[in-house]
């Protein structure tokens, strides 16, 4: 199995696009191999069906040039820190051997996002424990741990460890979010209004990208948090001046 550079873990289809669609587009356009792993099919969502969201996720992946998208089919609203779920995620990490993992920040309005944080953090740790046995395709998997987990921002804000410049990819991010026609505002769309289906939601997405862009003197940005220190390569940094 060919390894990937990055796995973006998300509780629901559309979370990855909303929180870091610009960063995904930027990395994939630079030739990095990107995988999005949605933990659930979003079947508890107020709007849209599982089938529709599956089609929408495929369309969004295409816009962002994502190489692989998998769905772990964990029940929506019930992302338990169970042995079964842990093995699913550890199996994926060991199979695709990403250098970096992205996951939801530790606190959020939606408790599925918090549960995903705990599951991914534990899974990346145990993926690197030799005696933690997971069978993949009938074979004992080799232990492997991604070097870092970077956490992305959903509803609740945090002080970022770093911000990525997504100015050149903001439009792709918006196009990928709009691919989820059942979830977000589109003229003439029917169904009960939710927080994210209101007309003002896209203004909010743009405003946040502008705020974090401004903080790094760019047009648009996406914020991330890391629990560990990150080295800054000063020589490389100085080349940017």
Counting residues that bind Zn ion (by CB under 5 A) gives 3
Q: Does 12 bind Zn ion (CB under 5 A)?
A: yes
DSSP 8-state code for residue 199: T
Report the residue from 4, 8, 15, 85 that binds Zn ion according to the rule CB under 5 A. Answer: 15
Q: Does 11 bind Zn ion (CB under 5 A)?
A: yes
Span 104-133, contacts to Zn ion by CB under 5 A: none
* Segment interacting with Zn ion, rule: CB under 5 A, options 3-11, 84-92, 164-172, 187-195: 3-11
Task: End-to-end CA distance of the chain: give it in Å, rounded.
Answer: 40
- Residue with smaller CB distance to Zn ion, 40 or 124: 40
Q: How far is the CB of 15 from Zn ion (least distance, A)?
A: 4
CA–CA distance, 241 with 235 (Å, rounded to integer)? 11
Q: Is 183 exposed, middle or buried (0-12, 13-18, 19+ CB in 10 A)?
A: buried
The closest of 72, 51, 66, 39 to 173, measured between CA atoms, is: 66
- Residue with smaller CB distance to Zn ion, 85 or 141: 85
Q: How far is the CB of 153 from Zn ion (least distance, A)?
A: 12
- Residue with smaller CB distance to Zn ion, 75 or 230: 75
Q: Does 47 bind Zn ion (CB under 5 A)?
A: no
CA–CA distance, 51 with 114 (Å, rounded to integer)? 25
- Residue with smaller CB distance to Zn ion, 60 or 134: 60
The closest of 99, 23, 98 to 68, measured between CA atoms, is: 98
Q: How far is the CB of 183 from Zn ion (least distance, A)?
A: 10
CA–CA distance, 87 with 109 (Å, rounded to integer)? 27
The residue with its CB nearest to Zn ion is: 12
DSSP 8-state code for residue 153: P
User: What does the binding site for Zn ion look like in residue numbers (CB under 5 A)?
Assistant: 11-12, 15
């Amino acid at each position: 199995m060919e390894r990937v550079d990055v796995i973006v873990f998300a509780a629901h289809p559309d979370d990855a696009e909303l929180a870091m669609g610009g960063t995904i587009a930027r990395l994939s356009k630079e030739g990095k191999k990107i995988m999005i792993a949605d933990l659930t099919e979003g079947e508890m969502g107020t709007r849209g069906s599982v089938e529709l969201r599956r089609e929408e996720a495929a369309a969004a992946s295409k816009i962002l040039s994502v190489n692989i998208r998998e769905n772990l089919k964990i029940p929506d609203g019930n992302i338990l820190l169970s042995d079964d779920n842990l093995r699913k995620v550890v199996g994926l990490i060991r199979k695709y051997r990403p250098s970096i993992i992205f996951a939801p920040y530790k606190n959020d309005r939606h408790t599925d996002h918090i549960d995903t944080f705990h599951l991914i953090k534990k899974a990346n740790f145990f993926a690197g424990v030799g005696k933690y046995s997971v069978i993949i395709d009938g074979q004992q998997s080799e232990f492997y741990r991604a070097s870092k987990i970077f956490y992305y921002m959903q509803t609740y804000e945090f002080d970022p460890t770093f911000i990525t410049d997504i100015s050149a990819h903001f439009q792709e991010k918006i196009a990928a979010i709009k691919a989820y026609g059942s979830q977000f505002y589109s003229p003439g769309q029917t169904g009960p209004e939710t927080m994210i289906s209101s007309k003002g939601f896209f203004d909010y997405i743009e405003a946040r990208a502008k705020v974090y862009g401004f903080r790094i003197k760019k047009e648009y940005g996406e914020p991330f948090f890391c629990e560990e220190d990150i080295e800054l390569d000063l020589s490389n940094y100085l080349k940017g001046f």
